[in-house]
Amino acid sequence: MMTFLLAAAIVIILIVAGLMIFAAVTARRVELALPPRGRFLDVPGARIHYLDQGSGPAIVLVHGLGGQMGNFTHSLVERLTGNFRVIVIDRPGSGYSTRARDEFARISFQAEMVAQFIRGLGLDRPLLVGHSLGGAISLAVALNHPECISGLALIAPLTHMPDAVAEPFRGLEINSSVLRRAVAWTLATPISIRRGKSVLDAIFSPEIAPLDFPTKAGGLLGLRPRSFYNTSTDMVSVVTDLPAMAGRYASLKVPVSVLYGTSDAVLDHQFHGVAMKAKVPGLYLELVAGGHMLPVTAPDVTANFIKNAAQHQTNLA
């Protein structure tokens, strides 16, 4: 019996070690293929990787859950640099940005870091553009640091606490940090490779994810253990701040524009978009045909939305 238990333990150890080596090798290969493209700025609690292109009035772009700056650089940024100085960031803990502690995954802490980034770069009240979870973080910037920005342009933003996690993200719902790290370094990478296409299809539904999304948009960076760990931490941290934020929207002091796809399969456009009209005085809402990933699937529509939001806040200044 002891011999059997010892043999079983050795097999388990070898399997776990093999999975960890596979995860580490995969992460290294991904980072060699997709190295950092921008510069870094240290703010309290984080080191933020960012890309700064174009000239004109500044806009700062904040991506959503599980993404990084590639969600914007794939198709959108090139449509904006002729009119704006476009600064697109990897959120703290995403892409090549880091954060010091798990608690900094909270929406309020990430908003503080974005505000510190804006100050650190010396930007004069830029338009803040947020997609999905980046929309919630942008709203927190507007609520807690309104002096930093001139307005919000939100694309398919997370604005209220959903009743349930959207299907593509249910595998990230791990509340224990110990279990989260164990999964990140063992099962997450092979499962992500196996299920990658189906997850992308669900996030992009009803549209089709571009074939070059894993490379041109940096999607492969999500195969790294730290990407899984931080994305899961982001998701389970939402509940800490978002419910209370929703009760403060009427106090927003900056112009707010919202763009939503009426076929969004990740966040319901009625619950997160239309509902904001009753809470935010003067909010501009634009509904279009399309899903959740409008910066990639509808870059012209999204670029025009951002340009119009920038013009609107200029007229109000």
| AA letter at 234 | D
The pLDDT confidence band at residue 3, using thresholds 50, 70 and 90, is confident
Q: Which residues pair with 100 in a beta bridge?
A: none
pLDDT value of residue 314: 67
Both tokens assigned to 177 = 């940090």
CATH number of the domain bearing residue 219: 3.40.50.1820
Where in the sequence is the domain holding 253, given as residue range(s)?
A: 5-316
- Is the distance from CB of 35 to CB of 28 less than 8 angstroms? no
- Is the distance from CB of 111 to CB of 84 less than 8 angstroms? no
* Rounded Cα gap, residues 228 and 29, in angstroms: 16
Q: Mean pLDDT, to the nearest integer, of 112-139?
A: 98
The domain total for the chain is: 1
Report which secondary-structure segment, H or E, holds 51: strand 46-54
pLDDT at 313 over 90: no
pLDDT at 128 over 70: yes
Tell me the pLDDT tens digit for each residue of 243-282: 999 999 999 999 999 999 999 999 999 999 999 999 999 9
